[in-house]
Homo-oligomer: A and B are copies of this chain.
Amino acid sequence: MVRDRESTANQGPTTGVQSGKFVEEVEVRGHIIDSLILPKILDTITAAGGIFTIKNIAIGQSRHDPSFAVVEVQANSEAALQEIIAQVSDHGAVSTTQSDAITVAADIAGAFPEGFYSTTNQRTEIRLDGHWVNVGLQEMDCGIVVDSSTKSARCIAMTEVQHGMPIVVGHAGVRVFPEGRKMERQSFEFMNSAVSTEKPKGVAIRQIAEELHRTKLNGGKALLVGGPAIIHTGSVPYVCELIRHGYINKLFAGNALATHDIEQDLFGTSLGVHLDRGDLAEAGHEHHLRAINRIRRAGGIRPAVEAGILRSGIMYECVKNNVEYLLAGSIRDDGPLPDVITDALVAQQTMRDSIRDVTFCLMIATTLHSIAVGNLLPAWVKVVCVDINPSTVIKLNDRGSFQTVGLVTDVEPFLRSLVQDLKELEAVGN
């Protein structure tokens, strides 16, 4: 048992060149064993060609005690060393040589200075004038801009950089707090480690229902990111019910979901398939184009609802229930509907502004929009990704957060069961 965790501190941090080797010492704290943080760090060092020496380690005796380790990293060149330090810092390893974050003024608008610090989606702090301050608007694959007047910092996208902005470079004075696994194994985590079609689905769906229910009760914001399979599979009534009962507070989708939803209201079909009869004959493939045309003639979705042209469906319910919706364009869109934001950067910025208060995100049957939103969300927002195609779920799971759960299942029966489970939870709640 290791108690005297500070006993070796007097060895002093080891940094610099030692007999032709480049060395730096990092420390890491938290549930570093059971959240696999320490193994990942050691793995990263070796994989990048470095050598590690564990200088000090103290492992909590039980699950409730956090652990602590000091690791010396050795590499063949200063560049290799800094690359390794950069990588392990994403797992929460911080140099023991503490210093303030270093900034360089942006010399060009729309680009970072070389050597910029590239953010993760984990909670991050930087050291300014000897104090650690939280980085705002956390988002992966951004830079960090410092406001020296307010001693604050925030993430900033490359395209937003303006000339002269002080941008953090290097890893000095930056520390990351990886989301650890929670002390108690939460039901929500149950599918964490694996994507499989062969899991008890009823349990999974019930837990997602509980999460949605809790989000509503707690005044959280639930975001639905959805693809057109929601319409094609006949799931519109379930999503409408979720909206009407306040379980969905925002909707991000593309032209296709909205178009086929509207097509169903106007023509009773989705991609020409009669949803009530399941009649799959090639009928009405033009319907989606006529639906778009009619909404364009009306001036948009909201005007079409107000004019009584659009009378049911997901988009109708969004308008009626004041659910914020954002339709982002893509190059395969027909039309598109007038509401679609066709510029990808504008759409990204609009999504970015909208997700700030999202506490739970349900992604259904869309790879493009799910990955786009996954890129914007901080690691601590709970995400459930549902798709019948395992590859979408695998891609989202690569996000690597303990807060992301993948479920390989079919959209319509999933939503049907989800609505049923929510009704039962409401009945119990009353």
Contacts and interface: CB of A to CB of B under 8 A. Distances in A.
B410 A43 contact: no
A33 B44 contact: no
A202 B1 contact: no
A228 B395 CA distance: 14
A98 interface: no
Interface of A: 1-2, 8, 33-34, 36, 38-40, 42-44, 46-48, 51-57, 59-63, 83, 86-87, 90, 108, 110-112, 114, 116, 118, 141, 158-159, 185, 187, 190-191, 193-194, 197-205, 207, 228-229, 232-234, 270-271, 273, 275-286, 289-290, 292-294, 296-297, 328-336, 342-345, 347-348, 351, 367-369, 371-372, 375, 388-391, 408-414, 416-417
A344 B329 contact: yes
Given A39-B39, A46-B185, A289-B118, A63 B52 contact: yes
Contacts of A278: 187, 190-191, 199-200, 203-204, 207
A197 B229 CA distance: 8
Please indicate which of the listed interface residues A38, A273, A412 has the most CB atoms of chain B within 10 Å of its own CB. A412
A46 to B, nearest CB: 6
A141 B289 contact: yes
A104 to B, nearest CB: 13
A247 to B, nearest CB: 18
Contacts of A292: 158
A90 B282 CA distance: 11
A51 B203 CA distance: 25
B344 A229 contact: no
A332 B375 contact: yes
